Structure 1
Amino acid sequence: MRAIVQTTVGGPEVLTVSEVPTPRPVAGQVLVKVKAAGVNPVDVAVRAGYYPLLGEPPFTIGWDVAGTVEAVGDGVTAFKAGDDVFGMPYFPKQAAAYAEYAVAPADQLATKPKALDFDQAGGLPLAGLTAWQALVDAADIKAGHRVLIHAAAGGVGHLAVQIAKAQSAYVIATASTEKLDFVRSLGADEVIDYTTTDFTTAVRDIDIVLEPIGGDHAALSLKTLRPGGIIAALLTPSDAAKAEIDRSGARFARVGVRPDGTALGELAKLANAGKLKVHVAKAFPLEQAGAAHTFLGTKPIGKVVLTA
């Protein structure tokens, strides 16, 4: 089969197509013929060597998978050949999703939502699970909560807005000028242009902040929290920001995404109910993985995917 294999870390040009053996599913695993694989910032960080999750090359990056079951290993009863599935297997270990076929534990997959095509389903798992695990698992979002979502037009952000609205929360979202209308279309109750407005003076009494930016940004978000509120951060804050959070006594959760077939099923329910849509900014063929990474660097709206 064809797969993207890199033999060194570096720029997008290190992502090259190779012929490798097609994996075989063992007990508990499913072999998926990949139709689409999401491209995420963590993929870029691992490719470049900034985040050495997979050790030294050679390796194949990618964790988002949507496709059709080709075969199942012993003991698998949840799926059969021909079923359409999606998932984020093995993270943070190698899943090798940038390939024509991938194997995954059956319990880390879910049935693909009928409401989404393969490109959309391929862009959902990692970003959708991140948003779900931050808002639902870490922050225990409830109806009526005031939720501040930063970078609301991005991969995680645009899904987080919709997940929060599906939980009957009041959503305030930040985005740049050219992305405001898109974020409004997701159902955000208030939209703040962070290029012209200081959100720390415009927002108050927040129950949950979804913080995907890192650095000192989490400390700024402290100013918007009500007593008992929580910052759910996707990146580690700076030492100064963490110290300020500790002094404030505010609740803080550093959210690291993990495989979860059950949560994928919940995301699928939202999609099939028309409450969760995945915006795909652009789909690239597998052999253009490097171009997909370059495009992701332009910070497009929503998701970028590869099609195998």
Structure 2
Amino acid sequence: MTKTSAQQNTAPRRLPSADDILQGNRAALARAITLVESRRSDHRQEAQTLLRQLMPHTGKAIRVGVTGVPGVGKSTTINSLGAMLTEKGHKVAVLAVDPSSTHSGGAILGDKTRMDRLATNDNAFIRPSPSAGTLGGVAAKTREAMLLCEAAGYDVILIETVGVGQSETSVANLTDFFLVLMLAGAGDELQGIKKGIIELADMIAVNKADEKGNQDAAAAEYRSALRILSPASTQWKPPVVTISGLTGAGLEELWHHIEKHHEIMTAAGELSTKRQKQDIRWMWAMVEERIQERIAENIAAKERIPDIENALTSGQISPMAGAEEIFKLLNI
């Protein structure tokens, strides 16, 4: 006897269990990420319970952020790098943050289409997520998704950012290694410094070495630029390499640098310290997110905020006074 649509809609929703995740169940992992991305309060509680159970099984992966302007070849490079790593026995998770649809807020780019070699690889997991307007193109729940992937046994996490010129501090603050992809002959070779991206880099890779261009000259320019910048750590001098994400040329050297960085930072105790600081930033980011949600859910606050903003712009109140009024509306 077939169930009616009403009966199907009232069927209990199966939550992903910690055991499912730990056993590497890909379907359960996908459901768990959907759970942590949900804004529903009941889903939030369920997600926190799941994460608490899984936290002891996280933290063992190498976390790599990959950024660069659109067209630099991020997806192509990740596709080739991820395939190379799975051949070496690694399990690779790719969290690809897409520009959000202005209407639905959903991911609109087809990462699984662009990363064909990984999409059909049993040792790879690709998850496109909407950026939802978050600074630096990092989805609001990327951190939680990263922890879930680690608990599922993925030992390399690659996070691809939108790369639209926004501050990239967000991705640098949730990864161990920040890889910046650059193109040769795309205008001012040092343009990235003006955006503050270069000084965040743990390595610069000049991509598309398979094409005719000035890759070596561009690499030399970046090496010169890095000499005048203060490195984030005295333990590590960011290298500059030339690669081809399309052919895979230079990716062995690129991965060697990432592994070496991980070994050096772990031995020096800097990786542990860095992750502890990231956790603090993560906590405050969640506090800010929750405040924004409370404002959105508070009808009185939503109605009053335009008046507060008008009073501020007309000079009737100070920013501090305006903030105090909002806090009172939220009972903070």
TM-score, length-scaled by structure 1: 0.28
Which has a greater percent of helix? 2
Which has a greater percent of strand? 1
Between structure 1 and structure 2, the one with the greater Rg is 2
TM-score, length-scaled by structure 2: 0.27
